[in-house]
Amino acid sequence: MNLLLGIEALVLFLAAVLAGLGAWLAPEVTIRTNPVPELAVRVTLSILAAAFLGGSGACLALWRQRQGLSSPLKQPGPRGLVFITPHTVVQLAVGLLAQELPETTFRVHLQPQKEGFSLRVFLRLPQEASITEVAERVQELLTAELSRRTGLKVQEVQVVVHGTARAPR
């Protein structure tokens, strides 16, 4: 996935360079038999160059973010370092949430921090659920259990409620 993002960023950057060169050179363009004004060609190619450059930057930003998520979290052990992948921590969090909130849909995102990590949990709660009670329960559960199981510091657990789940008919 990271390789494809890198390739996409490179292709978009090359497209931006070519569109920029086209705007600078401003070739004559005719559609059917009507010539297109040079200014219109330059503006259109400049807009395309800017869009391609923006897309390339977005791909690089995603690539950089994913690079951080692929490097393991480090925990000192009695005989050396213990490396825990972010994916493992997310799997632990998903398992804990599935036990605690079996009827709730959720997603978990991990953000590595200097000392430990933070989590962002996206939930869709049942209509009768108290948002504040569930959010506090999720924060306490994930903070305590993930710290205990991994030995890493859970710096923050953000709970984002995306609405309520529809009641079954």
Domain ranges of the chain: 2-70, 81-165
Question: Do 122 and 107 meet the contact criterion of CB atoms below 8 Å apart?
Answer: yes
How far is the C-alpha of 33 from the C-alpha of 167, rounded, in Å? 62
- How is the chain split among helix, strand and coil, in percent rounded to 5? 55, 30, 15
Give the CATH number of domain 81-165; options: 3.90.420.10, 3.30.365.10, 3.30.70.1350, 3.30.1440.10.
Answer: 3.30.70.1350
**What values do phi and psi take at 51, rounded to 5?**
-65, -45
Residue 97 or 128, more confident? 97
pLDDT tens-digit readout, 135-159: 999 999 999 999 999 888 999 999 9
- pLDDT class of 23 with cuts at 50, 70, 90: confident
- State the chain's mean pLDDT as an integer: 85
Quote the pTM value.
0.60
